[in-house]
A and B are shown apart, each in its own frame.
Chain A
């Protein structure tokens, strides 16, 4: 691993350890009170989930086009990130929605597309796990289709009615709320980056090990 990796892990750990303090110091939102604080973890996980999905889709498209295994390893790591942070998003969202809208789950466009996107990322991993040899190309095809699908799901669900807060809320937040949000966002992105780096590294080692086994077989 590069030299900066261990210090970066320490920084990331420290940021997550500090985040409850930063969040606790943020002011209470007037109508939702304490429950609103879920938001400081909910939105960063959602952003990381979205970023990871896009990275997975683009890496898959490049893998299909070039056949370079490096893109495939990136796509796999990104898909795992998408499943992990997608789960965080889908768990923290209802906690907030129960208080804000009085319901655990609402079939709103953004929520539904997140759920379906998360399912596609998970299906990607299931395919890689149980599909047997050659499944990485199939999974790349799935990721590409999954990415193309997002606008369709969004439009089709949106035609009902949308009540999820718009992203335009964020720039208007006061500093006392904006700072904890940005802090958490940075922590989550750093975490995603480090985990992906680690996962790609594991995949690289696996590929090298496989290559060594193969060459030994040929010599024998």
Chain B
């Protein structure tokens, strides 16, 4: 099982290292988002207070949506999805492999995104780096857990490009609330550890519930 997961992650990474398509497009799209937000939210050289956290999470969700759609579109175009489904490994392993690939890609994007948002929006995001990593990683994991399942389900559906955000955003509302609130609490001058811990634990619970559910549903929805 773990070996199958690793092999799928390695396959995605090899494809990515050779083409760099997803990494470049996702990163560039994220930068464009930040730019658009900066033009609309920064006034007289200063961003409104607490805006940085919102910008960070909106960008993660927009860029994540793009990356999710693309990673499965690639499998569909090259007809490798069928091969992936024929892999002699349990279906949940395929899901976990894909999920790990997406999380790695988003983590890479976030590594550049977080300092950039902190800089452009004068947000003290890096004041408590451990908590920030905790919130960002659990939030990204929850978003990607739901997103990977939906993107995989939609591969064979019509108008999948439009349907992915339509389905994904309402379901991931708790991630954006907890992500934004948790990040805002970190950036606040009077740091309250209880608040951050609450949002962190909520995200952990969300991750556990939705990864479990996705593992259970992946098999029936991906079988014809």
User: Given A126-B163, A146-B171 in contact, is the A131-B217 Cβ separation under 8 Å?
Assistant: no
B157 interfacial by beta-carbon distance below 8 Å: yes
Pair A131/B163 contact, Cβ less than 8 Å: yes
Complex Cα distance, B102 from A16, in Å, reads: 53
On chain B, the number of residues with a Cβ less than 8 Å from chain A's Cβ atoms is: 31
Residues A182-206 near B (CB distance < 8 A): none
Describe A's contact surface by its main secondary structure.
helix
Q: In the assembled complex, how far is the CB of residue A142 from the closest CB belonging to chain B, in whole angstroms?
A: 6
| Complex partner residue of B181 from A123, A135, A152, A159, CB under 8 angstroms | A159
Q: Note all chain B residues with C-beta closer than 8 A to A137.
A: 153, 220-221
A23: CB under 8 A from chain B? no
Q: Which residues of B have CB within 8 Å of A155? A: 174, 202
Task: Verify if A138 is at the interface (C-beta below 8 Å from B).
Answer: yes
Task: Find the residue from B158, B170, B224 having the highest chain A CB count within 10 A.
Answer: B170
**With A149-B173, A152-B206, A153-B173 given, is the CB distance from A126 to B156 under 8 Å?**
no
Q: Does B166 contact A (CB under 8 A)?
A: yes
Q: Which of A50-81 contact B (CB under 8 A)?
A: 64-65, 67
For residues 126 through 156 of chain B, which have their beta carbon under 8 Å from a beta carbon of chain A? 146, 149-150, 153-154, 156
B178 within 8 A of A: yes
Chain B residues in 8 Å Cβ range of A135:
157
Inter-chain contacts of A138 with B (CB < 8 A): 153-154, 157, 221
- Decide: B146 and A156 in contact? CB cutoff 8 A: no
A152 touches B217 (CB 8 A): no
**With a CB–CB cut-off of 8 A, which chain A residues contact B173?**
116, 149, 153, 156
Contact present for A120 and B221 (CB under 8 Å): no
What sequence of 0s and 1s flags, for each residue 126-145 of chain A, a beta carbon within 8 Å of any chain B beta carbon? 11001110110110111011
A120 near B171 (CB under 8 angstroms)? yes
> Does chain A have a CB within 8 A of B210?
yes
**Chain A contacts for B150, CB-based, 8 A:** 141-142
A127 and B178 contact, CB distance less than 8 A: no
- For this complex, 10 residue pairs linking A to B, each with C-beta atoms less than 8 Å apart, are A116-B170, A126-B166, A130-B162, A132-B157, A132-B159, A134-B156, A134-B224, A144-B217, A149-B171, A156-B174
